[in-house]
Structure 1
Amino acid sequence: MEFCPTCGTLLRYELPHMDRLGRFFCLTCEYVCQIDSKVKIKRKQHLAKKALDPIFSEDDKKNWPTTEATCPKCGFGKAAFYQMQIRSADEPMTTFYECLDCGRQWRED
């Protein structure tokens, strides 16, 4: 968006026609800005993925309490769990489970 330096109104764009170049013009005053050449902005930026550190280490996982929960993958009846508040304060906590047999992780909201 371009604004008129004289009155501050938003400038309109007029397409090039025949031998006339494209231009910006003001509807309020008589300001005209000719566009001499085509502006071409092309830039590619490759994003690098940042390595993520685990939230819990293997030592932390050893200290998780266990409960009777059935694994959806292997059907084993025990799992380690922890709870975390991931939504707003008036929502219940989310329970994260990890199967003690196959290591599958799942959650219950």
Structure 2
Amino acid sequence: MIFCPKCNTMMISSGGQMKCRRCGYIQAIESEAGMKITTTRVEKEITIVDEEEKVKTLPTIQVRCPKCENNLAFWWLRQLRSADESEVRFFRCTECGHTWREYD
């Protein structure tokens, strides 16, 4: 990583040169031998419930099923939108298997 000598912000590669995102300072890349371009992406692992046996290991909660009126359901959380929005809670009835989501 190369940091801007003016404002100490991390610089990005832009057409054979390094450019500061904050102040616009430009520095020529003298030697690419010492530079290594990497991409690091951290992803959150999501458990997808597909098989009936896996559902039985999920936690349960007392909530009324809108289809059969049963009072017990499995529940899990999923991140459906961007990371700055809250997760969505899903429920699956222990009797009829109906799946629905919680709306705030």
What TM-score results when the alignment is normalised by the length of structure 2?
0.49
What TM-score results when the alignment is normalised by the length of structure 1?
0.47
Larger Rg: 1
